[in-house]
Amino acid sequence: MKEKLNTLILIFTRFATAIFLIDSIALLSFKGKEAKLYALDVLIILGIAFICALLYVLLLSDRNFSKKKMLAMQIIYTLIINAIVLVIGHYLKWFSFCNISTFFIFESVIIGVITITILYSYKSDSATAKKMTEKLKNLGSEEEK
């Protein structure tokens, strides 16, 4: 349980950071210096990050998946997150399905956030696994002596 809570917090912070980073770049690029991010927007973004983290823990935190099953779970995860964020964004009028350019910009932001977060998590997990493997090798070589 403690491990899942740690994963939830870790993924939440990664998603929140990625959302704020990409959203800030998008806002500055398309609305300029006059762009504003309101307190309600911040709370909604944090809520979205929490939903992303919670679904990650529920769907992807099992490390015993085969590569094919992990890829399938990541695709399912991405589609679910994408759908949730699109519904929330449309409801809050962050974009419109009628305005194709705002839809594609918003979709690009969603895909960018998910991609950055999943790739960063993969890199981080790979580095941790590599360190653990090296420590195990060192322990094994010390025992042989």
DSSP assignments along 24-46, one per residue = HHHHHHHHGGG----HHHHHHHH
Owning domain of residue 93: 2-144
Neighbours of 48 (CB within 10 A): 20
Question: Structure tokens of 36?
Answer: 């504003």
pLDDT recorded at residue 118: 80
pLDDT recorded at residue 43: 93
pLDDT band, residue 3 (cuts 50/70/90)? confident
Nearest-angstrom CA–CA distance, 125 and 6:
14
Nearest-angstrom CA–CA distance, 21 and 109:
10
pLDDT band, residue 143 (cuts 50/70/90)? low
User: How many domains are there within the chain?
Assistant: 1
Under a CB-based contact definition with an 8 Å cutoff, are residues 103 and 96 in contact?
Answer: yes
Residue 128 above 80 pLDDT? no
pTM: 0.75
